A and B are shown apart, each in its own frame.
Chain A
Amino acid sequence: MIIRFAGDSGDGMQLTGDRFTATSALYGNDLATLPDFPAEIRAPAGTIAGVSAFQVHISDHDITTPGDAPNVLVAMNPAALRSQLVRLAPGATIILNADAFDDRSLSKAGYTEDPRADGSLDGYTVYEVPMTSLTKGAVTPLGVKPRDAERSKNFFALGLVSWMYTRPVDATIEWIQRRFVARPEVAEANTVAFKAGHAFGETAELFDHPFEVKPATLPAGTYTNINGNTALAWGLIAASQLSGLPLFLGSYPITPASDILHELSKHKNFGVRTLQAEDEIAGIGAAVGAAYGGHLGVTTTSGPGMALKAETMGLAVNLELPLLVIDIQRGGPSTGLPTKTEQADLLMAFYGRHGEAPLPILAPRSPSHCFEVAIEAARIALEWRTPVVLLSDGYLANGTEPWRLPDVDELPDLSVTFATEPNHVGDDGEPTFWPYLRDPETLARAWALPGTPGLMHRIGGLEKEDGSGNISYDPANHERMVQLRAEKVARIADHIPPVEVHGDVDDADLLVVGWGSTWGAVDGAVSRARQAGHKVARAHLVHLNPFPPNLGEVVRRYPRVIVPEMNLGQLAHQLRAEFLVDARPVTKVRGVPFTAAELEQQIIDHLKDQA
């Protein structure tokens, strides 16, 4: 069951959707969510630009996407209806706030005719509920002013939908009391509105019978509902604990990455230090400085900030210091679509620096997976003394899913060995410290922290002599250092898991290669295509640079390879260049994730195309 709440951006739709999600999780449903809101804080009320929506997919079986076409739309005004109608599944249920369908609101939404009367809602099950007036009627006896009374109508809608899907009521009422504890009159109004909506659903004859979505059967364990940015922040804290290095975040606020800064700034008792820097460059600069001092240095941003950080990332490549650069991708270029998702920063992560400046790149596949990938990114950064780019996106950042909590005792050990003694004998016979002597296997350089007696040394962005780290303009030395830095990153491939193939592993006619947040849609599409009798396999990349060691063999194994991505084919480009395979891009750059249905169709089309 896929439910979409839509209203004006001031109507509280995100809050309503969030709460419905939480109560569904408590009820035991598997779920996935997709917030969809405008970049403007408050666009003109009643207009299409101001529509804010929240989609939640609840299910009694394991699901991986927020769903394709909604089965239920709750539309708080005509603009919400008009903007969302195209998304609905055939025969979907529409619940309208009838009070909002006056001439003025209809015209603001761009309707010349009332859609309720002109036949454009034929084929849908439409319930018109005068939510505004019912809410006012319920809460004005409390002494709430009429204008304030109207503001509780999202809780009326929440109550109504909670009844429709038999969600537990008490948890939401308790939550309202907690959330509005500072304003008891608001808490009271919202509670009354919520109850009124619930009662309306129960007593009015609008609905024949309540919908019911039973709890899913998930693996045993303790679960919480989590979004990608929170999971990422917690993963960073975990990495700090596992490495024994205090966490330092240098960041500049930017949508959709700011919530990581917000979350980390709460957890100072873990030794977390956060700096809201003066700009994106200072954010990464401070993280580099902290890394030099022995902290786990992190910077978080989105595409525009990544562009600004490029020079400092090159410095970190050259200094060979551990650093995590986290890019929550959004629609670009330039300001682009700040609140919409996209995966178009992949090639920037690969190549967006001057000179030969390779660095490892990782991408989580789902909101909760951000936790694990943050730890993996820290592992690579610390062991190989390198900046690492972690590419999340707006969909993962704000989307939620139930997460089976890991056993913290089973998380990997990330402890670091710092240099404490000289590692070289100078020409004068005296022991000395050479910061660019390398581990023969990993090629990671020796790392001595300021404060360590006898190991004083200078590092910098100028090319360094292999070993000593002194400035060197020697041509052969430069070439050797360029190759050493590249080889160091390439060797990480020996220490990451091989890519797994799922589905018709042995005899697939087509392989779908995914990365990042397309995972859920790819999984759903491949399952459906296989159920329809097609031979299809899929492989999902978490490590994008270096690629898993078996990837070349995997992509050459199948007659057709398609690569769905929310860009114009960036991973496909890399696969073609790296492995000389005819990997075909399947692209979507609309600011919203692929749906499983879209990808299923693509799979079928590609199978036909070359059959």
Chain B
Amino acid sequence: MTDTLIPVTTRKDWSSDQDVRWCPGCGDYSILAAVQLLMPELGIKREDTVFVSGIGCAARMPYYMNTYGMHTIHGRAPAIATGLALARPDLHVFVVSGDGDALSIGGNHLIHALRRNVDITILLFNNQIYGLTKGQYSPTSEVGKVTKSTPFGSLDHPFNPVSVAIGAEASFVARTHDMDRRHMMEVIRRAFEHKGASLVEIYQNCNVFNDAAFETITAKANRDDMLIPLRHGEPIRFGADGDKGVVIDSQRGAHLVDVADVGEDALLVHDETRDDPSVAFMLSRLATGPHEPTPIGVFRDVMRPDYGGGVEHQVAAARDERGPGDLGALLRSGAVWEVS
């Protein structure tokens, strides 16, 4: 903790001795690899790093990281991580969660961790299905989905995790997917570097219960036309030749256009740092699901006081003003009298 020298490490140093037990072919493997490959580049120590998870397939991840870790209970990881991050601002706290864990049973904790801006990095593995309980629909599953618990099709309108996070005024919101290691590493690095709460939605394939859910947009052959890369300071455009783009107008909000029809100057220039979350929210609504052109990258990265910093500031200010606590004086702080 006090030693500032960061030893050079490799992926192996960040890998625990436990056998990884996800189903063969699960998208979680590639996310784990991306994280383990990224960690040596972050300039942090293993002992100062904690992975906290709830319940679900994704929640097994802490066991595979050679760091400190807590595999807790369903939905509560953001709350538990909040306590840890507030108690120990010297630690790097990651939360690993899934769509059911983060958005259904733990939805309340997620939005409040984001709104408070606790300094934690939340990786939300979204596979649009319940895997560990074997194939029920999730709060991100599409309407009409036929699953074990919805033999006649799901009636639930799904959450868009990025919209939820922006709605909670999260200070950092991004999306990536399990088929592009470089993109994952870059986005998670940005999330880690952000001071405050950051949420990364990772489209993740569940090859057993919801195979190919994201194939329409993430398959190599489809990416150019179906993924809209968000790059700060650049006009938002996509397609093999950059022939398509995004504009905002007063009548229709954000929508897709052919660049040839509107001209390059009409395209929306992406600004992650815009304080008002409404444009980022509009971008999150461009696709109704992973079958339409979908933005990926960093939607929002704004500076806002982080909660833990505020807590530490108040503790320090109280000590400056009143000195360190004196128990004897505390007990005598009300009206006292002597009996002899």
Q: Give residues in A with beta carbon < 8 Å to B.
A: 22, 25-26, 28, 218-226, 234, 237-238, 241, 246, 248, 250, 267-273, 275, 277-279, 281-282, 285-295, 297, 311-312, 315, 319, 404-406, 408, 450-462, 470-471
Contact = CB atoms under 8 A, between A and B. Distances in A.
A471 B59 CA distance: 13
Contact of A286 (B55, B82, B336): B82
A458 B68 contact: yes
Given A220-B340, A470-B18, A312 B73 contact: yes
B156 to A, nearest CB: 23
A282 B108 contact: yes
B270 interface: no
Given A269-B321, A312-B73, A250 B83 contact: yes
Contacts of A282: 76, 79, 82, 108-109, 112
B211 interface: no
A452 B47 contact: yes
B322 A269 contact: yes
Contacts of A277: 79, 82, 112
Contacts of A456: 46-47, 66-69
Contacts, number: 203
B165 interface: no
A450 B68 CA distance: 6
Given A223-B339, A450-B50, A451-B48, A286 B79 contact: yes
A340 B66 CA distance: 51
Contacts of A460: 62-63, 69-72
Contacts of A451: 1, 47-48, 88, 90-91
Given A273-B311, A292-B83, 20 more contacts: A22-B335, A224-B332, A224-B335, A224-B337, A234-B331, A248-B83, A268-B318, A272-B315, A285-B76, A285-B79, A293-B83, A293-B87, A315-B72, A405-B331, A451-B1, A451-B91, A452-B47, A456-B69, A458-B69, A458-B70
Contacts of B108: 278-279, 282
Contacts of B55: 461
B72 A461 contact: yes
12 contacts: A28-B337, A220-B339, A269-B319, A269-B323, A285-B76, A406-B331, A450-B47, A452-B47, A455-B47, A458-B69, A461-B71, A471-B18
B291 to A, nearest CB: 34
Given A237-B330, A248-B87, A471-B63, A285 B80 contact: yes
A444 B311 CA distance: 32
A28 B339 contact: yes
A80 B48 CA distance: 61
Contacts of A225: 334-335
Interface in B22-47: 45-47
Contact of B82 (A289, A450, A471): A289
A391 to B, nearest CB: 23
Contacts of A267: 318, 325, 330
Nearest to A277: B79
A451 B68 CA distance: 8
A25 B337 contact: yes
A453 B48 CA distance: 8
A459 B90 contact: no
B52 interface: yes
B328 interface: yes
A278 B112 contact: yes
B84 interface: yes
A281 B77 CA distance: 11
B81 to A, nearest CB: 6
A457 to B, nearest CB: 7
A289 B327 contact: no
B327 A408 contact: yes
B255 to A, nearest CB: 35
Interface residues of B, number: 61
B327 A238 contact: yes
B265 interface: no
Interface in B292-340: 311, 314-315, 317-319, 321-325, 327-328, 330-332, 334-340
B327 A292 contact: no
Contacts of A281: 76, 79, 109
Contact of A241 (B1, B50, B327): B327
A25 B337 CA distance: 8
A405 B311 contact: no
A457 B46 CA distance: 11
Contacts of A406: 331
A373 to B, nearest CB: 16
A286 B47 contact: no
A501 to B, nearest CB: 28
B62 A290 contact: no
Contacts of B325: 237, 241, 267, 269-271
B257 interface: no
Contacts of A294: 87-88
A52 B133 CA distance: 52
A22 B82 CA distance: 40
Instruction: Kindly name the residue among A273, A281, A292 whose own CB sees the greatest number of chain B CB atoms within 10 A.
Output: A292
B86 A286 contact: yes
A458 B16 CA distance: 10
A408 B314 CA distance: 26
Contacts of B331: 224, 234, 405-406, 408
CB-CB nearest 9 A-B residue pairs: A460-B71, A289-B83, A270-B325, A286-B83, A285-B79, A289-B84, A458-B69, A282-B79, A268-B318
Nearest to B316: A268
A241 B327 CA distance: 8
Contacts of B337: 25-26, 28, 222-224
B332 A26 contact: no
B27 to A, nearest CB: 22
A450 B332 contact: no
Contacts of B88: 293-294, 450-451
A457 B16 CA distance: 9
Contacts of B84: 289-290, 292-293, 450
B82 A275 contact: yes
A234 B330 contact: yes
Contact of A269 (B66, B91, B324, B336): B324
A575 B47 CA distance: 47
Nearest to B46: A456
Contacts of B86: 248, 273, 275, 286, 290
A454 B7 CA distance: 13
B320 to A, nearest CB: 9
Contacts of B340: 220
Contacts of A223: 336-339
B72 to A, nearest CB: 6
Nearest to B339: A218
Contact of B328 (A268, A285, A292, A408): A408
Nearest to A371: B331
Contacts of B65: 458
A405 B70 contact: no
Contact of A288 (B63, B83, B91, B328): B83
Contacts of B311: 273
A277 B324 CA distance: 26
A467 to B, nearest CB: 15
A285 B330 CA distance: 29
Interface string B88-100: 1011000000000
